A and B are shown apart, each in its own frame.
Chain A
Amino acid sequence: MITKATMAQMPLSLKLGMILTMMIATMAFVSLVWTPYAVDQLNIAGRLQPLFHAQHWLGTDHFGRDILSMVMVGAQVSIAVALVAVGIGMAFGVPLGLTAAALEGTRFDDVIMRGNDLAFAFPALVIAILITAILGPSALNAIIAIGIFNIPVFARVARGGALTQWRMDYILAARVAGKSKTRISIEHILPNISTLLIVQGSIQFSLGILAEAGLSYVGLGAQPPTPSWGRMLAESQTMISFAPHLAIVPGLAIIITVLGLNLMGDGLRDWLDPRLKRDQRRQG
């Protein structure tokens, strides 16, 4: 439970990260029901309006589309892609890691770990290139590519955390009570590595935002007319000398999101970890 007292103990980075993340998330939610202008509303006469324009606070692009509206809708895409990709990574990676840890030293564990090492040889972009080459570009393919990339990351973190727990005597106590390895994994191991997983989740979330931006920048992500931060940057590139705000605004949106998530992850680790570690330190 988050009480006032625990709020006060939160590190500054966690608070700041939560504020930034909430800001972007709110923006994405609001855009579901309302944006200042429709994102497909072209207005060639009012194109390339500068920042702080009376009607278009963040200006307009070369088709006269409202940049604020596009950034808001773009947040939806970025967050959705990164979040679902984290979900894919956790849904497949965590059970794999937990199973490998429960069967430590067996052939299964060996195969999982070797497969994991190999999976790291395929960066998200390379997976995306492969998928796009076959299926063509789309936001869904970006999700799959980033999701696949996340699986070995979570498998490794879950296995590492779980192995530490398996060495603890309380696990032996549960086995003496006759509990199965599956039940122990779910009842004891998973809750005790949840901090690790949440922290890793926030890191992968922010990496996912960056990866999505990169993929849509090179045209392997969300396709027109869906606005996305990466493609806005790609389109702004030829106009950067006379309309730099077209590049700066979506860039800042990415930076704020990633910064927020990273600060939140770091803060969470600082906030949750010492409570778990304090016990162990007392032994010394």
Chain B
Amino acid sequence: MTNPLYQKNIISIADLSRSDLELILQTAESLKKTPQPTLLNNKVVASCFFEASTRTRLSFETAVQRLGGSIIGFDSGGNTSLAQKGETLADSVKVISSYADAFFMRHPQEGAARLASEFTSVPVINGGDGSNQHPTQTLLDLFTIYETQSRLDNLNIAFVGDLKYGRTVHSLAQALSLFNCNFYFISPEALAMPDYIIEELNERNITFSLHNSIEEVVDELDILYMTRVQKERFDETEYQHMKSAFLLNAAMLNNVRDNLKVLHPLPRIDEIDYDVDETPYAYYFQQAQNGIFARQALLALLLTNHFQANA
């Protein structure tokens, strides 16, 4: 049977249906259990970072290499003819994609990946376009939740920190709203979830509540998704006053559910104390590693028509 994602672009999480997401997660699970080191033999994947991003790039390039594919590309836009000679992104993409079987890109401008997909005949995977989308981060987050909870439906999920500017939490909340989860939004008022996300959740009848501290709800949670409250968004006194409500330490986890997992897109600064690392709830490093399997799953589905997941 042809898989529905074969030769498709992965630009925005909103483009993926619930069944698409489930297929990707099952494929990631299968590839984690049963590596496929020759699946992409003879495939060339372009890895084009018009803006530097070490973690995403290394994770993606590892994914390609562990499937047996090879990589061409660059790790920052400054060295490209686009930057040096004023070539349009459309022309750059048209040329590079003619060399490769798939095109993975990060770009500092919103909409770059969507535009690229209109000038290529090979699948484009968005590795982050400005402040807009970062769908492979969302997929690795979903995969980690699925892996640790054995389901995505009806979970109690808290998002903590900068919910206003964090595209990671926006996309994850949007994706999880397909699975009827219960959300807790924990943030300073100035960094609350934006209205457009709240409107979307209301349209989908998703239950959510707003909170001022982690401790108010931590004992009810299946997933605690931490992000950083950036110091530079507040004046020093204000920051010192409110920051403790959004920091996590091991003592706060004494009465939590056994299945709770703490996630974080990384890098962390001080929002998760190092003593949390030693608890059974810490899962952020495994989450980062799962980025390889989520990206492998996309490559497998986009580039091979009859790939069968053996979950």
Asked if A and B bind, the verdict is no
Point out residues on A near B: beta carbons under 8 Å.
none
